[in-house]
Chains A and B, each alone.
Chain A
């Protein structure tokens, strides 16, 4: 009976317990180790008496173990203020409800800009999501020892440089929240590539995004990001063939799109848009929702999509967004209008999709020689084998016609 109970309490409340301990101890490693100690103690003691509030029990024991560890490390003199604070903070608590939800602080600390991006991602996945170092290493295709080292360094920097364990002040919040959302998005996209199609990682990213959106209900971009992830995820099974070849949006089997995810994504997007402050994630989700609504390219509202890309270009200008805008304009107003925009894009001359898009538009304008040259350039630049196969196929089709 005891082992499953301890395991269940740990699984369900791990992030909240860790967040509370990190907050009072100011030290990730100490918080993790003392929480492990507390669970080990629970495995021994709970057979006799199961506490009324297992979470409060675990936190109290973890606090005591942390103090023991500090004493043993002979750091108690130096750290006395921390230890004192720990005592008073916990003695006042009788239940988890009173401990409060420190998970948001934990997320902001894990995604702190003073940490390297890969460390933010790894730490968030470990501390907030609860993946092991091994699981994270496999998802990000790095050696486990490298990943473990990255985690240790990040945790020690948080302690030694005293990185804030609080939710940032209001005037810093927009930028810091954007940083948190970027980490969530990066975790999702890591599970959304041809080489690493990882539904589990995508699910965790969506769950994490939902946690942030729930904890920050007044931030429409957080909700917008969840909508975007759900809408992307709804198409995941149709994006590649069994061999890993790219299937263009136009050729995807829309019957296989996940309708439940689309419905949830659209519902969340509508909720976010009601705030009247559409940011990059909401706009990208709105574009994805337009595609999700259509039964095929023919009845897609390309003018609406071109308008959304123009808005996106205004709030977060980038040559890649400009390229997508040009594609939508080409669909709405014809290939000549699209090509005119493509020719004006600067800064992504080595991006294979720029040349693939030019090739496609030139082909549609009846300029096969130029189209073939552009496909060849795209093929030269594409790094991903699936992209290369796709472009080679296009070139062959063009030569054959």
Chain B
């Protein structure tokens, strides 16, 4: 089963900032552990809310607005998608993720609706 790890309120040091090298090494070690367990499906940082655009189509017309759909104080900054046998395995990996020490990780199971085909395009590598 696939689980999405939503990473909230976590602001690790960026390139050039103090502690960046150490943070990078730790997060790569986490990703390596996920790969070792054949769990890593995808993962990425999400650019912050100031870059968000929301689309809604009503009566055939697209309504495009600046900003995130849900205004909250919580900042969604990244995600992983992991393949795990049970929630327990996903929670164990989330516990070992360095981002959990800085912010919070919400673990949500994904669900493949029977008949819905979301096969990725062959030519597009997953970012």
Contacts and interface: CB of A to CB of B under 8 A. Distances in A.
B109 A162 contact: yes
A112 B123 CA distance: 42
Given A77-B114, A163-B86, A166-B86, 15 more contacts: A78-B114, A114-B91, A160-B109, A160-B111, A161-B87, A161-B109, A162-B1, A162-B85, A162-B87, A162-B109, A163-B87, A163-B88, A164-B86, A168-B88, A172-B88
- Scoring B1, B87, B88, B111 by chain A CB atoms within 10 A of each residue's CB, the highest score goes to B88
- The interface residues of chain B, by DSSP majority, are classed as mixed
A77 to B, nearest CB: 7
A166 B92 CA distance: 15
Interface string A347-380: 0000000000000000000000000000000000
Given A164-B86, A164-B87, A172 B92 contact: yes
B87 A114 contact: yes
Contacts of A166: 86
Interface string B99-126: 0000000000101001000000000000
A168 B85 CA distance: 14
Which 7 pairs, one residue from A and one from B, show the smallest C-beta to C-beta distance?
A164-B88, A164-B86, A161-B109, A161-B87, A163-B87, A78-B114, A162-B1
Nearest to A113: B91
Contacts of B89: 164
A333 B97 CA distance: 50
Interface of A: 77-78, 114, 160-164, 166, 168, 172
A168 B89 CA distance: 10
Nearest to A114: B87
B58 to A, nearest CB: 31
7 contacts: A160-B109, A162-B1, A162-B86, A163-B87, A164-B86, A164-B88, A166-B86
A174 to B, nearest CB: 15
Nearest to A165: B86
B113 to A, nearest CB: 9
Interface string B66-107: 000000000000000000011111011000000000000000
B90 to A, nearest CB: 9
A114 B111 CA distance: 18
A77 B91 CA distance: 28
B22 to A, nearest CB: 25
Contacts of A164: 86-89
Nearest to A168: B88
A226 to B, nearest CB: 27
- Scoring B86, B92, B111 by chain A CB atoms within 10 A of each residue's CB, the highest score goes to B86
Nearest to A157: B87
Contacts of A168: 88
Nearest to B92: A172
A121 B89 CA distance: 23
A265 B88 CA distance: 35
Contacts of A172: 88, 92
A115 to B, nearest CB: 11
Nearest to B113: A78
Nearest to A163: B87
Contacts of A78: 114
Nearest to A171: B92
Nearest to A77: B114
Nearest to B88: A164
A81 B93 CA distance: 25
A162 B114 CA distance: 17
B105 to A, nearest CB: 13
A8 B85 CA distance: 37
Contacts of B92: 172
Contacts of B88: 163-164, 168, 172
